Amino acid sequence: MGLGELKIDCTVNGEHRVADGVWEGESLLYVLRERLGLYGSKNACEQGECGSCSVYLDGALVCACLVLGGQANGREVITVEGVDGERVQRAFVEAGAVQCGFCTPGLIVATHDLLRRHPHPDDALIREALAGNICRCTGYAKIIDAVHQAARPHPARDAGRPPQRVGR
């Protein structure tokens, strides 16, 4: 190949991982996906606009497409594959917040980050926190439902949501 000489030594989802022969221009997203086989973080815009590649880098929520692979050297990365997000994940499934699902991994990580900072966010806070995650399918209503469900052990209707009737 002869393109790059970089060696990246980091912790990913609690495991020590090494990527060798990395080209300096590779993003953390590329390294995670194509070097380490962790395809859960998605490549939708690769400009930090859509949040589909959201991961934790040393505990901070980042877009992996905006971080160079080399910047992860010696640091700790947690991706959707390793995030402790079962409750969030279940809520997204239950609420119907997943359609094509390409934005979903990023939303799972971003919601996880929101709920650890604010265990019971209201709609306004949810909207503010997830404004960096673009979803093209759902129109976001079911995503807001999912965040509320994840925030509560027992799902309950949010009083702020309008009623939805099916049938006559």
Partner 1 sequence: MKVGESVRRFDAPAKVRGDFTYSSDLHAEGMLWGATVRSPHPYARIVSIDTSEARAMPGVHAVLTHEDVPGQILYGLEIADQPVLAFDFVRYWGEAVALVAADHPEQARRAAAAVRVDYEVLEPVTDPEKGKVLRHIKIRHGDQNAHADVVVTGEYEIGMQDQAPLGPESGLAIPDGEGGIDLHIATQWLHIDQQQLASVLGLPRERVRLTMAGIGGAFGAREDLSMQAHACLLALKTGRPVKISYSRSESFVGHVHRHPGTLKYEHGATRDGRLVYVKARILLDGGAYASSSTAVIANASCFSCGPYQVPNATIDGIVVYTNNPPCGAMRGFGSVQNCYAHEAQMDKLAAALRMDPVDLRIRNAMETGSEMITGQRIEGPVPVAELLERVRKFPLPAGDGILPGGHSNTTHGEGVKRGVAYAVGFKNIGYSEGFDDYSTARVRLFVHEGQARAEVHTAAAEVGQGVVMVQAQMAGSELGVSDVVVLNADTRVGSAGSSSASRQTYITGGAVKAACEAVCQRVLEMAESELHPARDLRIEHDAVVDSSGNEIISLATLLGDAVIDETREFRPRATHHLDAETGQSDAHMQFAFAAHRAVVDVDTELGLVKVVELATAQDVGKAINPLAVQGQLEGGAAQGLGLAVMEEVQVKDGVIRNASFTDYLLPTILDMPPVRMDILELGDPSSPYGLKGVGEPPTISSGPAVIAAIRAATGCEINRVPVRPHDLTP
| Beta strands in 34-90, from DSSP E residues, in sequence order | 54-57, 60-63, 76-78
- Using CB under 8 A, pick the residue from 5, 101, 117, 157 that binds partner 1: 101
Torsion angle (degrees, nearest 10) of CA 151, 154, 160, 161:
100
Nearer to partner 1, 74 or 162 (CB): 162
Nearer to partner 1, 7 or 136 (CB): 136
User: Binding of partner 1 at residue 168 (CB under 8 A)?
Assistant: yes
Give me the least distance between CB of 27 and partner 1, in Å please.
Answer: 11
- CB-CB contact of 148 with 113 (8 Å): no
- Using CB under 8 A, pick the residue from 47, 120, 153, 159 that binds partner 1: 47
Secondary structure of residue 34 in the 3-state scheme: helix
Give me the least distance between CB of 120 and partner 1, in Å please.
Answer: 17
DSSP letter, residue 118: -
Round to whole Å and give the CA distance between 57 and 2.
28
The amino acid occupying position 151 is A
Give the CA angle between residues 47, 81, 64 to the nearest 5°. Answer: 20
User: Binding of partner 1 at residue 119 (CB under 8 A)?
Assistant: no
> What residues from 125 to 154 belong to the interface with partner 1 (CB under 8 A)?
126-128, 130-144
User: Binding of partner 1 at residue 159 (CB under 8 A)?
Assistant: no
Interface positions with partner 1 (CB under 8 A): 1-3, 23, 25-26, 33-34, 37-47, 49-50, 52, 79-81, 88-90, 92-94, 96, 98-105, 108, 123-124, 126-128, 130-144, 160-168
